[in-house]
Structures are given as C-alpha cells and as structure tokens.
Chains A and B, each alone.
Chain A
C-alpha cells in the first residue's frame, strides 16, 4: 500500500477537491489539521474530536441495538410461554424473593448514578472524581452479583432449578413442568444479565487504570462515555427483568 498522497489529506493538500470535501463534513481543512496537532488522542481518520466521539457513541449504540434484539428474543420467549401458562408464571414468580430483587434494582440505579458521575468527572477533568465513581460503580456491580449469588443458592436449596432435581412446590405438582419453563427462562435471562455485569466490571477496571493515569479530560473521555453507555444498558435490562420476573406474583403476598 503506497503512502497516501498529500492531495487526499485535507489540511495538507491544497487541491480544491480535498478542501471542499473537508468543508462538506463540517470541518474546514485548516482546523482539521490543527486539531491533529492539538490532541494526540485524535485518530488520523477523523477530522475533529467531536466527529471522533460521535462515531464512537454511534458505534456503541449500534452494538446496544444488537443487544436489545439479543435480550428481546428471550423476552419474546417469556411472553409466549406466559400467555400459554399464566398460572404457572404467577406461582413461579411467587417463589422469587421480591425484597432481594428490589434491593438489587436500587443497587443498579445507584451504580448508574455513579457511572454518570464518572463520565461527568471525565468531562470536567476531575481525576479524583473519575477514580472514586468508577470504583463505586465496580463495588455496586459486585454487590449486585453477591446478592444474585444468594438468590441462586436459595433456588438450588428449594429444588427450583429446572432438571432432574426440580421439585414443584406443594400443591403445584400438576403445573411443575410449566414452572420449569419459567425457571429455565429465569436462570437464562438473569444469568446472561449477570454475565453482562461481570463484563461491565472488567471494562470499568480497564477504564479505571486509564483514569488513574490521568488520560481523561475535557478533550478526551470517549472510553468512559462508551463504557458508561454499556453499563446503563445493562441497568435498563434489569429494569425490565425485575417487574416481569419478581413483581408478577407479588400481589399474592411476599415470596420465598
């Protein structure tokens, strides 16, 4: 591959074609060149930091749309089986712990707040704020997973895990198989959600190292912004899982 000729690089080439192309993208040629000198974080294929940030945010959103469809398939299965077996759904939901689920909802909402504050601290260049908020987000995410562990452990103790050891609660033997479908979806949906949490915590650790090194400021905070979008998305999935799995059977009284 030959080195690109200067004529194709706005700011260096003086041809009218390169200039008009740059101008049509909203960045005059001379400012594009200046931007590269000013900010070492600006990749060579972008005209400005704004354009680079927008491209990253758009890319993350496109990924999140695929995540919406991914979780959407599971929600679709949930809806189909729920319309088929409404009684089994309510009785199974009754076995979930609404209080632990509610606490976890609150934990995730606080973690979304600390995440938003981490992004804001990056935008204002406040390194201490970035570090504390990122660590806070990781601690809250871990708290969620610990509570989730105790919930899962209770399901194993109560023989509610689908499979050969499943035992329908007393009086529910007739709809036991239908309840197994609910619990299969419960474990798949919350399990994949928890896997996303683990990935999110790892991402936060990577971003924390970058924040520690003072990489973020008003001129460059793309990793925090994009990582934050992911974290908030995982929060949104839980916002829908909580009412659909836990609250569905709550009006019959608190669950197990």
Chain B
C-alpha cells in the first residue's frame, strides 16, 4: 500500500540513536577544552550532523518524494541566507565607521 514509504529496520533507528548519543558526548567533551576561535564552528558542525541524522533517519526524509525533500531543505537554505545577509551588514558596520553598531 505504502510503497513510497518503506518500513525502516529497528537496527537503523538504534544505530541512529547511539550515534546521536556519541555525538552528544563528543560535543560536551570538546566544549570542555578550549580551541579558541574553533570552539563554536566545532560545536555547530556536530549539531548540524546530529540534526541531519534526525531529519534523514528519524523523520524518514530519505524515503520522501523530491518535492518534500526540496521543501525541507528550502527552510534551512532561507535561514542561512537570512543569517548571511544580516551578518554581512552587522559585521561590516565598524569597518566603515557607520554609526549604529
């Protein structure tokens, strides 16, 4: 009946769950060390990997149609565009001596 949505094996969910646990432990450990400017990029990379695992396996996006995949990715894409354009403004204000920083 639901050929477009095969049933995920329990082992896949278990591996996803354990991977998320390991990544959480890893990110806490890494955060306890000081890598200077790399602290946040490392933490965010782990967070993005964890979010991708949840979306791809738990939410089953890998079995969804291209239309749903595009919709899901579009949300995060627009978010990055908002962050990028907004920060290009805020970061460059002091360079130009623009008041309002």
Contacts and interface: CB of A to CB of B under 8 A. Distances in A.
Contacts of A113: 13-14, 16-17, 58
Place the interface of chain B in its size category.
35 or more
Contacts of B64: 54, 57
A49 B43 CA distance: 41
B79 A68 contact: yes
A58 B67 contact: yes
Given A54-B65, A61-B68, A110 B17 contact: yes
A79 B87 contact: yes
A64 B72 contact: yes
A83 B90 contact: yes
Contact of B10 (A57, A65, A105, A117): A117
B51 A76 contact: no
Contact of B40 (A69, A116, A248): A248
B86 A80 contact: yes
Nearest to B69: A61
Given A69-B78, A106-B21, A109-B17, A243 B43 contact: yes
B4 A54 contact: yes
Contact of B83 (A53, A76, A232, A247): A76
A152 B60 CA distance: 34
Given A106-B24, A109-B24, A239-B54, A251 B91 contact: no
A229 B28 CA distance: 26
Contacts of B50: 239
B13 A117 contact: yes
A228 interface: yes
Most chain A beta-carbon neighbours within 10 Å: one of B43, B58, B67: B58
Nearest to B35: A251
Nearest to B57: A116
Contact of B79 (A69, A84, A124, A219): A69
Interface string A113-124: 101110110011
B72 A80 contact: no
A127 B57 CA distance: 22
A80 B82 CA distance: 12
A72 B35 CA distance: 27
B55 to A, nearest CB: 7
Contact of A247 (B20, B28, B60, B65): B28
22 contacts: A54-B67, A57-B64, A79-B83, A102-B24, A106-B24, A110-B17, A112-B17, A113-B13, A113-B17, A124-B7, A232-B54, A232-B55, A236-B54, A236-B55, A239-B54, A240-B44, A243-B31, A244-B43, A247-B28, A248-B31, A248-B43, A251-B35
Interface of B: 1-5, 7-8, 10, 13-14, 16-17, 20-21, 24, 27-28, 31-35, 39-40, 43-44, 46-47, 50-51, 54-55, 57-60, 64-65, 67-68, 71-72, 74-76, 78-79, 82-83, 86-87, 90-91, 101
Q: Which 9 A-B pairs have the closest CB atoms?
A: A65-B75, A247-B31, A243-B43, A251-B34, A68-B75, A113-B17, A250-B31, A72-B79, A109-B20
